[in-house]
A = this chain, B = another copy of it.
Amino acid sequence: MLVRKMPIFNANQLVKIGTKIFSAVGVPLEEATLVSEFLVKANLVGHDSHGIMRVIQYVREIEEGILKPGAKIEIVKETNSVVVINGNWGFGQVIAKKAMEKAIEKARGSAVSVACAFNCNHVGRLADYTLMASKNDMIGMAMVNAPRSVAPFGGKERMLSTDPISFAFPTNMGFPFFVDIATSVVAEGKIRVMLHKGEKIPLGWIIDKDGNPSSNPEDYYNGGAILPLGGDDAGHKGFGLGLAIEVLCGVLAGAGCAYMETKRGNGVFFEVIDVNKFMPVEKFKNEVTDLLKAMKSSKPRPGFKEVIIPGEPEHLTQRIRLKEGIQVPERTWEEIKRIAEKFGLDEKSLLGDICA
């Protein structure tokens, strides 16, 4: 689909485009495909900030030598229930997928397992990994930390990362049930989107460099900070969760904490629990399904149409995008083409066999 301005691709085409560019940059084919698949999966469910646009960032990081495609994944510690991985700065997706596979394998034996990783680049959406566990009838839990962006409760300097946490559980709901949230009031991507749109953000998302509340997204990028989940009233809660995640990902996983100037990439803490070691999987799934159905049956508050289950919006978006394709914003598409060209792929050779 060679629409000039706002191209629309199907998922398959986008994966091939990503794979082609990464391959041109010298990424081993298997990694190029895997990373592209992860990115397009994010597009499919509506999280474009974690989608194909990341190709631009990753290629830049490869050029800078920060991201090392094909890096050897080293297991530095391994027991029946624990694995600690040195990712040697390969693709975060490659490292995190390996870590979750290990955790699932170990949980099958030990009922509960932990997999940590350090020297790991951006892993993308956490739900991609926790859903690997739930697809195996296990409970997945994931946390990562990253460079600083969030102020501690009452502080005005960036000291924590958005410290996301994800859970996924097997159900019979007909869509994947997962939680995937930053423990800050908002993820950085949403501020960037508003900046690009030239719109104000709600008060309570950020403070400016002097620690004052601001609705101007630029203030974040001029030395401001994101606030922890809970706001002025309950921000100690988001701060507490963020600290716990910094300890698990920064200290226990050995990836360094957000407050450190040298911090980069994602510290990874994964955990898997094998449901089957506790109770029959079908009983578990039925009871979780009953729980979620009870929520869905809840009468909405004035101003709300219905109660939305975590995972539901992504499922609805995916249904639409599988049918209608994924729209890539003009600016993103221009940048992707520019990068492809730099590595010898003009638009024709980039799209030729893909969008014939």
Binding site for B on A (CB under 8 A): 77, 79-82, 84, 110-114, 116, 139, 151-157, 159, 165, 167, 169, 179-183, 185-186, 202, 204-205, 207, 210-212, 229-231, 233-234, 236-241, 243-244, 246-248, 250-252, 254, 257, 259, 271, 273, 275, 277-279, 284, 287-288, 290-292, 294-295, 298-302, 304-310
Contacts and interface: CB of A to CB of B under 8 A. Distances in A.
A187 to B, nearest CB: 10
Contacts of A186: 234
Contact of A159 (B113, B180, B248, B294): B294
Nearest to A313: B236
Given A77-B278, A79-B277, A278-B84, A154 B306 contact: yes
Contacts of A257: 287, 290-291, 294
B202 A151 contact: no
A157 B82 contact: no
Contacts of A233: 185, 202, 204-205
A225 to B, nearest CB: 9
A184 to B, nearest CB: 9
B301 A179 contact: no
Ranked nearest first, the 9 interchain pairs of A and B with the lowest CB-CB distance are A155-B298, A211-B301, A179-B240, A154-B304, A167-B244, A259-B294, A181-B237, A155-B307, A251-B287
A252 B298 contact: no
A305 to B, nearest CB: 8
B247 A288 contact: yes
Given A181-B240, A236-B308, 16 more contacts: A77-B278, A81-B110, A110-B110, A110-B112, A139-B247, A139-B252, A151-B301, A154-B305, A154-B306, A165-B241, A167-B244, A211-B301, A229-B237, A251-B291, A254-B279, A257-B294
Contacts of A301: 151, 154-156, 207, 211-212
A240 to B, nearest CB: 4
A295 B152 contact: yes
B300 A246 contact: no
Contacts of A82: 111-112, 277-278
Given A167-B244, A307-B154, A252 B278 contact: yes
Nearest to A248: B139
Given A185-B234, A207-B301, A211-B302, A153 B287 contact: no
